[in-house]
Structure 1
Amino acid sequence: MNILIAAAKTGGHIYPAVSVGSEFIDNSHNVIFLGSNNILEKNALKNQPDIQYESILMKGFRGKGLASKLLVLFNLPLNIYTLIKLIKKNNIDIVIVFGGFITIPVSLAALILRKPIYVHEQNTILGSANKISSIFSRKNFLGMPLHNNNLKKSEVVGNPIRNAFKPLLQKKYDENIHIYITGGSQGAKYLNENLPKILKDISHPIFIKHQCGSGKKEEVVRLYEGFENVEVEEFFDNPNLLIDWSDFVISRSGALSLSETMSMNKGSLMIPLPNAIDNHQFFNAKYVEEKGMGIIHEQKNGIENLKAVINLILSEKKYLVWQKIESQINHTEAAKNIVSSILKQSTS
């Protein structure tokens, strides 16, 4: 079969889509990945030579000014027409969308051509584009249970992540509490500016590995001045090894990063991005907290609260409790389960 997979804008949409595409390739199907021509998409596909890459010029809708929104709507019919031609030319049998505004014209083009549509939502809040696409979909796959939303034709399958994100059980050779800090590929200003000041004055024995993002290393190293047990890098290769090394993780609460951490039986101090659309990062974190695998700090509560939460985690050894709780969702099998479900429906 010929599969069209569409995702754009963020790694949280793109990487799960690539994982599912790779699983289809392993099952001897042809896959086209449709994106919006950005570097993140190309990097995600760098080691996937069998996945064909196509793109359309398209910008997001929500959070934009009136002029930008009008331009997107003006170009929508042309994008749908372009995608109809793409689907016909490549004899696409199935369309799978993962979020981002690109989802809408892809779903509408598939609807016009009566092609089966499948949706994967990574977060606990259904994104606007996926919400529209879910109306036409044959099935809606969920990375986590939705918050206050009973979506029809849905199944919680997890967020597709690499098999590398399984507990490795590395032996610990020191008595320090290991903390892995990550703000994602872009870094996170709030984490970079405040965590060094707090952690270097902590009385507990700790060792920190801090991923600060591109161009931020010099400043973050300066903030840790006088504290020896720290390693700061713009990026770390093999984040699964960092999570496994850690006792707990401090991060934002994007669905993919939380899924990776939970899959390795580690807990998180979660600091949701306060301006995330629909506050979805907070609700992602709330889900994890309710499952007993982390604790939330909201930026609006201030630095003293962040310091108190960190001291609570360390003094009460909450990270040891988190490590004993297994994720109820098998994210490393998500891609396989999605592909299996789609293939089963397509042959029934």
Structure 2
Amino acid sequence: MKQKTFLFACGGTGGHVFPAVAIAESLKKFGVEQISFAGRKDSMESRLVKPRFEFDEISAVPLHRGSFMQNLSLPYKLFKAVQSAKDVIKKRKPDVVVATGGYVSLPVVMAAGRMGIPVYIQEQNAVAGVANKVGSRYAKKIFVTSAEAQKFFPNTETQVFGNPVRELPKIETLPRPKEFREGTKSVLIVGGSQGARGINVKMEESLSAIAGRTDISVVWQAGAKNVENIRERVSHIPENVTLTAFLDNIYAYIGHADLIVSRAGASTLAEILAFGKPSILFPFPFATANHQEFNARVVEKAGAALVELDSDPNDLWNKVQTLLLNEEKLNKMAQAAKSIGMPDAADQIAKTILDAEC
């Protein structure tokens, strides 16, 4: 059997790149050797991908939702970007193209589709991105993370899988972080490397109430730019709260947390669900097309999370205490998370593509 050659296209944010890398790693596990990526020069995708896979640089043009003036020059720029993508395709000669979104992926999808190369698209969010919606006409199949996302692709075959994540460690292999004191309930507040302002503000307002619950251990990852400012504003951080800029071995904290408070980006959500963890989600209010709130509402509808907006009255600590006091509710949320989280989504997607193309 001829060894298949795969070309991946993704970029812009880690939310697009990480799923592509996860699927590529699964393909390698199943014996695929010829895998390369296409993306922009000096970009996030180049930094994340180059240590693992061969990488070709292509030109790309941003896609602006609903902006006529910003998109006025789009046809000319997109034509040049598609030509750039064709050059990479001629060089790599892929049998299959896999795209996971970001505007850099669209020229590759268009070029491959026009050249008769099978295209598979993976959409991470409950609201489909512009590149994936436009590129869907060239796709053989689109992998989505929820039934809600299927409606954005009415003319293309879709299949619902979880969001692909890298292979996660087993909880039993992860040491319990010392900040989660023995005999206490553990809460992880995570805002990413930059922190989450809305969550941080509500946490600051809640510190006096948190101090009275010595039976609860809180790890608050507030972001590198925020920790010192918080310490200057707050005269006393309670002993049961660990305030930190970063977390090494984040999976140990996720694995041993009884409850997680987080934004609702696709990759973060995928890992929370893959670990089967109940959560309180604060969607980033300025996410494109408000996709984080749509992501969060899907998980809330499934019974795996509660949702609070940054603009809502501060009910964060009340929600945390109420859940931790209701073991039955917490367990039901954990079971719901496990039911919609698919830690093997990358493997399932890779197998589906290989079954169709080999």
Q: TM-score, normalised by structure 2?
A: 0.87
**1:37 aligned residue:** 41
**Match for residue 312 of structure 2 among 301, 306, 327:** 301
**1:53 aligned residue:** 55
1:187 correspondence with 2:195: yes
Contact 1:93 1:115 in 2 (8 A): yes
| Aligned amino acid, residue 250 of structure 1 | V
Quick one: structure 1 residues 199 and 250, their matched pair in 2 at CA, closer, same or farther if it must change by over 3 Å?
farther
**Match for residue 196 of structure 1 among 169, 190, 204:** 204
**2:20 aligned residue:** 17
| Aligned amino acid, residue 212 of structure 1 | A
Deviations 1:269-325 (A, max 9, x none): 00011222222211211111122211000122232x334433433444543442344
Q: 1:1-348 counterparts in 2 under 5 A?
A: 1-26=4-29, 27-45=31-49, 47-48=51-52, 51-62=53-64, 68-147=70-149, 149=151, 151=153, 152-164=156-168, 166-168=170-172, 174-202=182-210, 203-204=212-213, 205-223=215-233, 225-303=236-314, 305-317=315-327, 318-325=329-336, 327-329=338-340, 331-347=342-358
Contact 1:193 1:220 in 2 (8 A): no
Contact 2:5 2:34 in 1 (8 A): yes
| Aligned amino acid, residue 69 of structure 1 | N
Q: Distance in 2 between matches of 1:37 and 1:64?
A: 27
Q: How many residues align?
A: 344
Quick one: structure 1 residues 231 and 102, their matched pair in 2 at CA, closer, same or farther if it must change by over 3 Å?
same
Off by >4 Å, runs of 4+ in structure 1: 63-68, 169-173
Q: TM-score, normalised by structure 1?
A: 0.89
Q: Distance in 2 between matches of 1:336 and 1:322?
A: 25
Contact 1:251 1:269 in 2 (8 A): yes
Quick one: structure 1 residues 208 and 221, their matched pair in 2 at CA, closer, same or farther if it must change by over 3 Å?
farther
The CA RMSD over aligned residues, in Å, is 2.5
Quick one: structure 1 residues 206 and 75, their matched pair in 2 at CA, closer, same or farther if it must change by over 3 Å?
same
| Aligned amino acid, residue 49 of structure 2 | L
Q: Distance in 2 between matches of 1:215 and 1:64?
A: 33
Contact 1:144 1:159 in 2 (8 A): no
Higher mean displacement: 36-45 or 193-202? 36-45
Deviations 1:255-282 (A, max 9, x none): 2211111111211100011222222211
| Aligned amino acid, residue 86 of structure 1 | V
Unpaired segments ≥5 residues, structure 1:
none
Deviations 1:181-210 (A, max 9, x none): 111232211122321331442333322222
Quick one: structure 1 residues 147 and 114, their matched pair in 2 at CA, closer, same or farther if it must change by over 3 Å?
closer
Q: Distance in 2 between matches of 1:33 and 1:212?
A: 33
Quick one: structure 1 residues 191 and 72, their matched pair in 2 at CA, closer, same or farther if it must change by over 3 Å?
farther
Q: Distance in 2 between matches of 1:326 and 1:212?
A: 24
Higher mean displacement: 162-171 or 124-133? 162-171
